[in-house]
Structure 1
């Protein structure tokens, strides 16, 4: 019997709520690539987007690691791996062929690389043959997973974790983790920050973000680390006591770090390169900026976990339903966003009305499709990562167990 951690479920729901706002913002932020862009883009949106995108995907990977740990699957590893494969890869395959295609269609038609006519496009898309260059993101593969990239990443990390669990359960490993959780703050914060900084400085220049899985080594290092950290630390009471007691200091540190980091980015945009080089030598500038960025990432993760434990670890009435809805909403939301921008853009509705309708339409579309179709039709449920109705009701009034919800994905196309 596992203990239900309501705060972990609630943080996942909140993070996915932010996902709709973030991906809507991708259509309106100036100078950032996305599948479709509105005519109403704004440079100021870059700053709140930067504030969020440095930690939000890491938070979701960390939550997944925590949820797996709290589910305690060590006595049933093969069964656990099989369940995770089914609940991650079936929705991925279905999503790539059925849910995602509207995105490359809208992208291709908007850029002039695809002839209008969704039926003809879909028949061609299902053939999984390379498209003419630049038809849409992923044209060279003939098919794309777009925002569903998180599913294969999480699947791979989960299988590697399952294979490593016997080693990770050794007494000396648990002892080292207990020592870390009780270590001085400079080590508790500084060691992970240093490791993440090393990834950023060494791997990112060689392997920039791609979302293509193969060769995406910087993202694998970063996301794999926080996923593993979530699993290793989740069952240590000292860790949770620590993040709760340090939550105010962690949040203050994160706010100072992000202020400095964003300030450095702003200075880099406004000051001429020779002026920047004169004030701060190149040998210091880049490592310092990277260190501040990763300090922000790690302390923000710990602050969110600490504050979440304090305020969210309670059985909210809305939480079981919302926990079940996360997976279908994740799969649907970006296709709805892209479709709505594609339809509304020619209407010239203005810089405030258009995004308001996009957000409202996305929320309404996700809610209606989940409530009226996905959760009610038996054969559709597993295609969106949901358990069979009888089994789901038995385990918690329609909400997946914590072990099941550990597979709930998050996504993001442009990191």
Structure 2
């Protein structure tokens, strides 16, 4: 398969936005592993520029990349072996080494835990139980890796049973033209606004059914798009309409949050349904707009593309731990939010780059941070 540089840039941008979003989680009133001393309700407004669609987009681009990996692997079994070797070692290392500092900072800053990090890691983290309701050991933000591996297993089994191209013709006919934008948008509206409006993601693999109904179809959709020039052309044709709808949805949510900060909405049908409709319509219209833009304008190589594309997974593995550690360290200084944000951003980018730069030059470390083995 020919490489689609636009989807590479979209993947890079999606993970970059994820890092900014998790820094923002320090400042909003929503629960997080570390919180600033003075949460700001207005930060919820820019957060909702990406909140409805950021994770679904990651699964779409992951499904797209999986089609390329399957083509290179040659068979469903080889694909699954390749995916497992790239995802499972970083997941296990992440749960054992990268994630524990997040749990320790959360316990010490929000739950009165008094022990230092080393006693916590050696004595409490691997208890396979809870402290004040916090489950240990855990995967925290690495839930995405778990779900991605499970979806890869589902994909490999489906391809082994039916063939990788058996449903491609149906996919092309079902989602070409205006249906590229409209049909998935209807699905996400029905799922989030009508059928399960009160259910949020739990990141618990076995008790997260609504999330799976959102993310697995997105992953499979990305897999189908990767071999569908017809659907990609439809995205490129309708990106303006999708962009307009997405901006209007965000403007609606922003207006509601200005009128009723921190979701203190009145329980009236008009307000409740307006919020639900705007949030869940934004999910697909934003994704459709971004894929259309990537197809039409970004499908060209650049000097930093290959490096940044390789760095996204190591950045993802370590970024939240850096945010939580630095955020916890900054708490006693009671800095202004602007200064705190700048420090968090600079420290996160520097720490992520340091891990990636060290890992790519150390052979045994490469597979532990999600990089390919370097051939001898």
Deviations 1:211-244 (A, max 9, x none): 1111101111001111111111221111111111
Q: Is the 8 A contact 2:201 2:210 kept in 1?
A: yes
- The correspondence for 1:36, drawn from 30, 34, 37, is 34
Q: Is the 8 A contact 2:193 2:277 kept in 1?
A: no
Alignment of 1:402-413 (within 5 A): none
Alignment of 1:51-200 (within 5 A): 51-73=49-71, 75-134=74-133, 139-140=134-135, 142-165=136-159, 166-167=161-162, 169=164, 173-183=167-177, 185=178, 187-200=179-192
Alignment of 1:279-290 (within 5 A): 280=270, 289-290=275-276
TM-score w.r.t. the length of structure 1 is: 0.83
Taking the aligned partners of 2:274 and 2:103, their CA distance within structure 1 comes to 39
How far is the alpha carbon of 1:50 from its aligned partner? Answer: 1.5
Deviations 1:369-391 (A, max 9, x none): 221x2111111111111111227
Q: Is the 8 A contact 1:54 1:297 kept in 2?
A: yes
How far is the alpha carbon of 1:180 from its aligned partner? Answer: 2.3
Taking the aligned partners of 2:311 and 2:302, their CA distance within structure 1 comes to 15
Aligned residue for 1:390, secondary structure, equals coil
Q: Is the 8 A contact 1:207 1:215 kept in 2?
A: no
- For structure 2, the residue ranges without an aligned partner over 5 or more in a row are none
What number of residue pairs does the alignment pair up? 373
Q: Is the 8 A contact 1:67 1:231 kept in 2?
A: yes
- For structure 1, the residue ranges without an aligned partner over 5 or more in a row are 392-415
Per the alignment, residue 345 of structure 1 pairs with 331
Taking the aligned partners of 1:295 and 1:8, their CA distance within structure 2 comes to 22
Q: Is the 8 A contact 1:91 1:384 kept in 2?
A: yes
Taking the aligned partners of 1:129 and 1:176, their CA distance within structure 2 comes to 46
Taking the aligned partners of 2:119 and 2:265, their CA distance within structure 1 comes to 50
How far is the alpha carbon of 1:202 from its aligned partner? Answer: 5.8
**Cα pair distance change 1:169/1:27, threshold 3 Å:** same
Q: Is the 8 A contact 2:90 2:367 kept in 1?
A: yes
Taking the aligned partners of 1:212 and 1:179, their CA distance within structure 2 comes to 35
The answer to whether the aligner puts 1:390 opposite 2:366 as a matched pair is no
Deviates more, 1:289-298 or 1:221-230: 289-298
Deviations 1:60-100 (A, max 9, x none): 10001111223443841111111111211111110011011
How far is the alpha carbon of 1:170 from its aligned partner? Answer: 6.1
Taking the aligned partners of 2:311 and 2:63, their CA distance within structure 1 comes to 20
The answer to whether the aligner puts 1:241 opposite 2:239 as a matched pair is no
Aligned residue for 2:375, secondary structure, equals helix
The answer to whether the aligner puts 1:48 opposite 2:46 as a matched pair is yes
Per the alignment, residue 220 of structure 2 pairs with 228
Deviations 1:233-278 (A, max 9, x none): 221111111111211121112112332344456566698747x35x
Per the alignment, residue 17 of structure 2 pairs with 18
Aligned residue for 1:131, secondary structure, equals strand
Aligned residue for 1:52, secondary structure, equals coil
Per the alignment, residue 214 of structure 1 pairs with 206
Taking the aligned partners of 1:67 and 1:27, their CA distance within structure 2 comes to 31
Aligned residue for 2:286, secondary structure, equals helix
Alignment of 1:348-387 (within 5 A): 348-371=334-357, 373-387=358-372
Q: Is the 8 A contact 1:207 1:216 kept in 2?
A: no
Per the alignment, residue 412 of structure 1 pairs with none
Q: Is the 8 A contact 2:181 2:288 kept in 1?
A: no
How far is the alpha carbon of 1:5 from its aligned partner? Answer: 1.3
Per the alignment, residue 3 of structure 1 pairs with 2
